[in-house]
A and B are shown apart, each in its own frame.
Chain A
Amino acid sequence: MATKPLLEVKDLKVSLATETGTVVAVDGVTFHVHAGETLGIVGESGCGKSVTAESILRLFDQEDVTYSGQVLYEGTDLLQLSDRQMESIRGNEISMIFQDPMSSLNPVQTIGKQIAESLKLHRGLSGKQARRAAVELLRLTGIPSPEQRVDEHPHEISGGMRQRVMIAIALACKPKLMIADEPTTALDVTIQAQILELIGHLQAETGMGVIMITHDLGVVAEICARVAVMYLGQVVEEAGVDDLFYRPQHPYTIGLMRSIPRIDGERNRKLHVIEGTVPSLRHVPAGCRFAPRCKYADERCLHREPPLNRTADGHAVRCWYPGIAPVEEEAHELGIFG
């Protein structure tokens, strides 16, 4: 861990201009990813995990967004680069996979051409060379008879196959960092496992860093080394995956874990729910952002925002009373590590 991280996000703040005013979708997020490491970013819908991911690549319209803080990729701040420099990073050094493989491919182009796109952009390959490379990439991602598939259009292949094509596109230029924004959410469970396995396998082969954005703790437990839990635009807890699952500290993290249904649990037992909903980003609570939904919140929580405290073993929590909520069942009993 002494080596310099591949990507270091420091105090990232993202304000988005919307029709009804500006919202701060990400507020002071800090995390890092080492080469060869998988970082999971977990949270409910609207907690800012996708915004964080898209901000790393600066994918928002320039007119609509203001960034502050730093996104250090191998020491250079991506937020300071020119648009042209940024284009040479995207897809080349850092690539991204999106949630919905059904709409992530251009419907009027063959999949071969779409894989060849970034090779032509960044590597300057000719059409023929790029096509050959596309076939190889399809083979690498486990698509049968790639020579034929390469000339097909996205509507001719299945969802799982399309996500493989997306991964082939993301891998085309051998990026050092891959951001996967809920890559398995739109797929059915068996395909999910295959895709995760594929990502893990390719990561081991290429040594790239992976940021896995998901709301599925099962996915996190399966492939991530470290996890950052996000709530309302902030990281509320960050730890190694075992540490987080066995010794969760933040009441929100504990709530998330308890809301996973247990396969060996009582059938009639009610599922645990975290009361309330994520507040709107327009009405961010004054103190701790989770306080209005937290059973253990007191006066201090409601008025003063807790800092992200990091302990010696690297476990960071943003809570005045870390560990206050009972971890009713041990994580391994939850079947997460099954």
Chain B
Amino acid sequence: MAAHSETVTAPTALRRRERRQLAVSRFLANRLLTFGAVILLVVVLLAAIAPVATPYGPLQIDPVNRLKGPSWQHLFGTDNFGRDVFTRAVYGLRISVAVGFAVTAIASLIGMIVGLLSACYSVLDAIFMRICDGLFAFPSILLAISIMAALGPHPGNVVIALSIIFIPSVARIIRSKALVVRELTYIEALHAQGASSWRIIWIHMAPNALSPLIIQSTYIFAVSILTEASLSFLGAGIPSPSPSLGNMLYDGKAVIYNAWWMTVFPGSFLLLVVLGLNLFGDGLRDVLDPRASRMKGGRRRGNKTSP
């Protein structure tokens, strides 16, 4: 008996390990995904170790060394108050990543709840979707500025404003997928098993409706970082003197002809993190949805052959 169960267990365990390896190699085989993941990893790491990455503080003023170009003392130069641009850029990156992450998490969670509830209850659907339509009707930056104006300048309020902007799009994505899932036989079978609607929605429908959100969340991450930067650039985001990529760009704008480094370096950081997220998202979609990747691969190959 023992021998029998061993012979049965061995191949299953093997299969499971093989499957995990297969999944890992499939992810690694996608160059977009790997490249994006590496960029993201570097950025997040840099943001995480910001306090030890530089000898300067983000608010440390050095009036003697104002507007100095890149050097070994100040890799990215100094700004008009003599603050180290590299330090400020790294701290700005930290805030950007934190805001992006918080917004993605909050918008995904609330959007998922709203989407699932609207898919399952027609009364809630009518209410929630009209509110979403209302929010969609505003240009997002304008909406964010007005929310910031109402709440006051604070990093926490930036997160709230951006979350409000992204909840409707998450809710719509989840709702449309949940409407499909709701009609599948296994949901009906669960009703026939005596599961309550509440249990069916949160335990069975939620994981099945989640797949489009995984890719969407990388997009939300990237766009919320960009929007936060725009808000700060416009003076409605992270308030000075706290560093943020957006308000650094604003500070640099005034002296762009004399001190290019004040604009170029924060700008490239912003570019890097958004590029990393987009590559990661594209790669993720290619890996998770093979049909879309084949189409895209074909197009890419087509482009290469044409001169």
Contacts and interface: CB of A to CB of B under 8 A. Distances in A.
Interface string A98-130: 111001111111000000011001100000000
Given A98-B185, A166-B189, A91 B5 contact: no
Interface in B165-219: 184-186, 188-196, 199, 204, 207-208
B9 interface: yes
B303 interface: no
A63 interface: yes
Contacts of A91: 192-195
Interface centre among B194, B204, B208 (most CB of A within 10 A): B194
A170 B20 CA distance: 33
A57 B122 contact: no
A95 B122 contact: no
Nearest to A103: B185
A92 B190 CA distance: 12
B73 interface: no
Q: Which among A59, A87, A92, A99 has the highest number of chain B CB atoms within 10 Å?
A: A87
B12 interface: yes
Contacts of B195: 87, 91, 117-118, 121
A102 to B, nearest CB: 9
Nearest to A115: B193
A59 to B, nearest CB: 6
B8 A117 contact: no
A148 B9 contact: yes
B208 A95 contact: no
Contacts of A26: none
A297 interface: no
B127 to A, nearest CB: 16
Contact of A59 (B9, B186, B188): B188
A134 B225 CA distance: 48
B196 A87 contact: yes
A91 B199 CA distance: 15
Interface string A45-87: 0000000000001010001000000000000000000000001
A105 B191 CA distance: 12
A100 B192 CA distance: 15
Given A109-B204, A145-B8, A147-B5, A88 B194 contact: yes
A298 B143 CA distance: 73
Interface in B17-70: none
Contacts of A166: 189
B288 to A, nearest CB: 14
Question: Considering residues B122, B192, B199, which has the most beta carbons from chain A within 10 angstroms of its beta carbon?
Answer: B192
Given A104-B185, A106-B208, A96 B192 contact: yes
Interface of B: 5, 8-9, 12, 122, 184-186, 188-196, 199, 204, 207-208
Given A95-B193, A121-B199, A148-B12, 6 more contacts: A87-B194, A87-B196, A89-B194, A91-B192, A107-B208, A121-B194
16 contacts: A57-B192, A59-B188, A63-B122, A88-B194, A91-B195, A95-B193, A96-B189, A98-B185, A98-B189, A99-B185, A104-B186, A109-B207, A121-B193, A147-B8, A166-B189, A169-B189
5 nearest A-B pairs in the assembled complex, by CB-CB distance: A91-B194, A91-B193, A90-B194, A96-B192, A103-B185
